């Protein structure tokens, strides 16, 4: 097979098609906010922009609750049983039932917490508007399409919702008083995408409806528990810093951090579609041959991280220019924050090779959860003293970078040790 033929084969492979579709969906999820950041950062005050950012971050706890790790566990189950339409339908509706229960529990917790904390009480309407993003996560069955490797079916539906959100913001958010509309239009886009995605489910399921039983829903929750604990720890390390900024500094510190962090998150988010496309493929490969799956990771893992290295270096050196464009002169304090966080996407891309694509694929969920718990403890051990000894946004940024480096080191050492053990007796034919 010639080199040209190999390239054509790889580009035509289902994994490549799903990775491309995932990239488009993920890019739209982060590019849409980036397109509107220069507008909102100038129309809204730093206080109201910071409050919207805080609401988004606060509700991310509940997105994590509702997601519950199903994007990994349900994806894996559907990938393994993709040849059994009835089982796929049963898994799908059981996951929906579990997510619906978690959505209700999350809303009760949100309202209770918002009314109990005096500093949050004036912003209950904003926090409830932000909860629309959680409802969107309930509705949008990305885990189903990932497991079936049919991500391309979601592209135009996702792009339509994002375009509608941007249009509404530019048309109706004109002054600082319209900050609630800005929050509603951004969070509401996920509900629109979720409704469209839910309407697509019958088109991909051969058995369109299998009544879910609560026993099956409980089984889905039990299976996802170790991954959920890990995701909670990840959420704590990635979002609690913003909560600390709000409590200690106020909305202005939140705004200065978030303007930089959104640029970083846009690049970090591109790791997800690559992981989502490879995860079911490697899961099926590992079910047949663990050695083959490890050889695949050894051959392609680091190569796939090179674009993220280039992107991270671009963030590092172009930080002043990017902040001037996306935030404007009043966000100059965001420049050093972006420079500190710049290498974070590359570290995350490297880590995913050894955590999700190896540890979860090969059944090391408990060990992975232990690593994540250790990183959470390290996060608080570093953040609490540093936030009182330097500028709070920089303290959060440095803490996140140390935790990323820690997780990469731990997962790489685990991979190197256990992959050698699994392939020790392998003799190429």
The Cα–Cα gap between 187 and 33 comes to: 11
DSSP string, 155-211: HHHHHHHHHHHHHHHHHH--SGGGHHHHHHHHHHHHHHHHHHHHHHHHHH-SS---P
Q: Cα–Cα distance between 290 and 215 in angstroms, integer?
A: 32
In the prediction, which pLDDT does 31 show? 64
User: How many Å apart are CA 148 and CA 286, to the nearest integer?
Assistant: 17
> For residue 122, with 0-12 CB atoms within 10 Å meaning exposed, 13-18 middle and 19 or more buried, which class applies?
exposed
Residue 313 CA to its chain's centroid (Å): 22
Q: Please list, residue by residue across 77-99, b when 16 or more beta carbons sit within 10 angstroms of its beta carbon and e when fewer do.
A: bbbbebeeeebbbbbbbbbbbbb
Determine what percent of the chain falls in helix, strand and coil, rounding each to the nearest 5. 85, 0, 15
> 39-69: per-residue pLDDT in tens?
888 899 888 988 898 888 888 889 989 988 8
For residue 341, which of 266, 419, 425 has the smallest C-alpha distance?
Answer: 266
**pLDDT tens track for 82-100:** 778 888 888 888 889 899 9
Q: Which of 195, 192, 197 lies closest to 155, judged by CA?
A: 197
Q: Which residues of the chain have pLDDT under 70?
A: 1-34, 151-157, 206-209, 234, 276, 423-429
Residue 99, pLDDT score:
92
What pLDDT does residue 21 have?
A: 59
- Torsion sign across C-alpha atoms 368, 371, 373, 376: negative
Asked if 323 contacts 337 with a C-beta cutoff of 8 angstroms, the reply is no
The pLDDT, as a whole number, for residue 413 is 93
Report the alpha-carbon distance of residue 78 to residue 176 in Å, rounded: 46
């Amino acid at each position: 097979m010639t080199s040209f033929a190999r390239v054509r084969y790889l580009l035509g492979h289902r994994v490549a098609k799903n990775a491309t579709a995932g990239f488009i969906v993920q890019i739209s999820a982060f590019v849409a906010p980036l397109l509107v950041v220069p507008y909102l950062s100038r129309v809204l005050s730093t206080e109201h922009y910071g409050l919207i950012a805080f609401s988004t971050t606060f509700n991310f706890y509940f997105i994590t609750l509702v997601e519950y790790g199903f994007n990994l566990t349900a994806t894996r189950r559907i990938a393994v049983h993709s040849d059994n339409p009835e089982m796929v339908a049963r898994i799908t509706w059981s996951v929906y039932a579990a997510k619906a229960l978690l959505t209700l529990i999350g809303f009760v917790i949100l309202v209770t917490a918002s009314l109990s904390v005096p500093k949050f009480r004036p912003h209950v309407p904003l926090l409830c508007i932000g909860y629309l993003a959680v409802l969107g996560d309930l509705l949008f069955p990305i885990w189903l399409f990932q497991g079936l490797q049919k991500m391309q079916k979601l592209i135009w539906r996702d792009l339509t919702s994002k375009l509608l959100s941007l249009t509404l913001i530019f048309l109706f958010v004109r002054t600082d008083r319209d900050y609630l509309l800005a929050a509603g239009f951004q969070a509401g886009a996920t509900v629109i995408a979720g409704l469209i995605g839910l309407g697509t489910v019958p088109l991909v399921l051969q058995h369109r409806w299998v009544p879910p039983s609560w026993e099956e829903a409980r089984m889905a929750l039990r299976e996802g528990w170790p991954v959920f604990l890990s995701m909670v720890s990840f959420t704590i390390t990635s979002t609690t810093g913003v909560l600390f900024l709000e409590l200690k500094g106020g909305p202005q510190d939140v705004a200065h951090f978030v303007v930089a962090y959104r640029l970083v998150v846009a690049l970090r988010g591109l790791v997800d579609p690559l992981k989502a496309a490879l995860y079911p493929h490697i899961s099926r490969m590992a079910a047949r041959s663990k050695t083959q799956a490890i050889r695949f990771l050894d051959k392609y893992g680091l190569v796939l991280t090179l674009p993220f290295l280039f992107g991270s270096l671009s963030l590092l050196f172009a930080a002043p220019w990017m902040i001037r464009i996306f935030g404007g002169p009043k966000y100059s304090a965001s420049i050093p924050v972006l420079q500190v966080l710049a290498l974070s996407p590359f570290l995350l891309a490297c880590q995913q090779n050894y955590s999700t694509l190896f540890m979860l694929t090969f059944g090391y969920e408990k060990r992975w959860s232990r690593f994540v718990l250790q990183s959470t403890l390290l996060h608080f051990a570093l953040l609490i003293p540093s936030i009182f000894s330097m500028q709070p946004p920089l303290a959060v940024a440095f803490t996140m970078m140390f935790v990323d480096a820690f997780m990469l080191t731990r997962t790489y050492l685990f991979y190197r040790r256990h992959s050698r053990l699994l392939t020790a007796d392998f003799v190429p034919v």
